[in-house]
Amino acid sequence: MSFPANRPRRLRATPVWRKMVAETELDAADFVYPLFVVPGAGIARPVASMPGVAQLAIDRLVEEAGRAHELGVPAVILFGVPDDKDPEGSAGWADDGLVPEATRALKAALPELQVWADVCLCEYTSHGHCGLLDAAGRVDNDATLPLLARAAVAYARAGADAVAPSDMMDGRIGAIRAALDGAGFAATPIVAYAAKYASAFYGPFRDAAQSAPAFGDRKGYQMDPANAEEALREVALDLDEGADVVMVKPAGPYLDIVRRVKERFGVPVAAYQVSGEYSLIQAAAERGWVDERRVALESLLGIKRAGADLILTYFAPRAAAWLKEGA
């Protein structure tokens, strides 16, 4: 009778062994916390489809960001949700818009916290598309670029530590890089949403940011979930145009893309665990079907193991607290 000589279970036998041989470790220092800014003061309006997430007026946003920073979260990414929208999304590129104002307030109160500004028009346009529309109602790529560039410069001028274009127009990284350089912000990094898919997982975000398209969908500019090679081409283009970090979004259903981008390019990769991924976990946890903490941490660990250096997640402060307590 022969027994197995190779017994992987030997190194699984105790918590100490397991920790010593763990290949991947989650770290709050890799988290970026998405926040929604609304006009006014004292407002914290819960987003119904995202339990635990609220639209915040600037004073409350500074508190929430401070709480996250205290727990070890190094960065936030801001989305503006203005009351007034127009076809050009002018609230998105105004120097006194919500994101610049929030950025100034955050940098004044929490100078060590990194503030990233999402760059897109969909939260600011009356039609909810990510770019300007032409006469036929199609998103006009080239007419949109100067507005995105203008938004990025306004955010950099307000003190943003990085700008993160999420619009998926062709050529926007190059346009934004040139505009930033021309305005004296050559040192401001661009985090490019390089492989952003036309995903049903963005549903709850569109409640939070009030940015659902008024007609049609985003399939004409965001990527087809069927494609992986195309994601690599998108990443190559964005790097060529000057992206410093490339993002894959959503994260969980696209871990193969995260891995391939990391292996192919070896650059810093961010993955966005989007609203739908978050809300699915919350909904099941509320029913007692899964353990929120364990499922959230496992989902984040999976994203890290796939190759993400940075993770944008609505769990950021909670996950940071759980990691502190010891998982």
Cβ 213 to ligand PBG, closest distance in Å? Answer: 8
Would you call 304 a catalytic residue per the annotation? no
Q: How many of the other CB atoms lie within 10 Å of CB of 294?
A: 12
Quote the Cα angle for 195-201-202, to 5°: 80
Q: Which is nearer to ligand PBG, 11 or 200 (CB)?
A: 200
Q: Determine the residue with CB nearest ligand PBG.
A: 205
CA dihedral 285, 286, 289, 294 (to 10 degrees): 20
Q: Does residue 249 carry a catalytic annotation?
A: yes
Q: Which of 249, 262, 304, 324 is catalytic?
A: 249
Query: What single string gives the DSSP state of each residue in 221-264?
Result: TSBPTT-SHHHHHHHHHHHHHT-SEEEEESSGGGHHHHHHHHHH
| Residue number, 148 or 156, with CB nearest to ligand PBG | 148
Instruction: Using the minimum distance from each CB to ligand PBG, give the nearer residue, 118 or 241.
Output: 118
List Cα–Cα distances, 1 to 4, 7, 245, in angstroms: 10, 16, 56
Cβ-based nearer residue to ligand PBG, 189 or 250: 250
Q: Where are the beta strands (DSSP E) in 20-126?
A: 31-37, 44-46, 54-56, 75-80, 114-119
Per CB under 6 A, residues contacting ligand PBG are 118, 120, 122, 130, 166, 202, 205-206, 218, 274-275
Minimum distance, C-beta of residue 36 to ligand PBG, in the bound complex (Å):
10
Looking only at the bridges linking them, the beta strands covering 44-46 and 75-80 are unpaired
Q: Which lies closer to ligand PBG via its Cβ, residue 109 or residue 220? A: 220
Q: Tell me how far, at minimum, the Cβ of 281 lies from ligand PBG, in Å.
A: 13
Residue 138 CB, nearest approach to ligand PBG (Å): 17
Q: Which of 196, 262, 304, 324 is catalytic?
A: 196
Measured between alpha carbons, how far is residue 56 from residues 41, 47, 51, 74, 126 in Å? 8, 10, 14, 19, 21
d(CA 138, CA 57): 33
Minimal distance, residue 13 CB to ligand PBG, in Å = 40
Residue 178: CB atoms within 10 A of its CB come to 14
CA atoms of 71 and 318, how far apart (whole Å): 9
Catalytic residue IDs: 196, 249
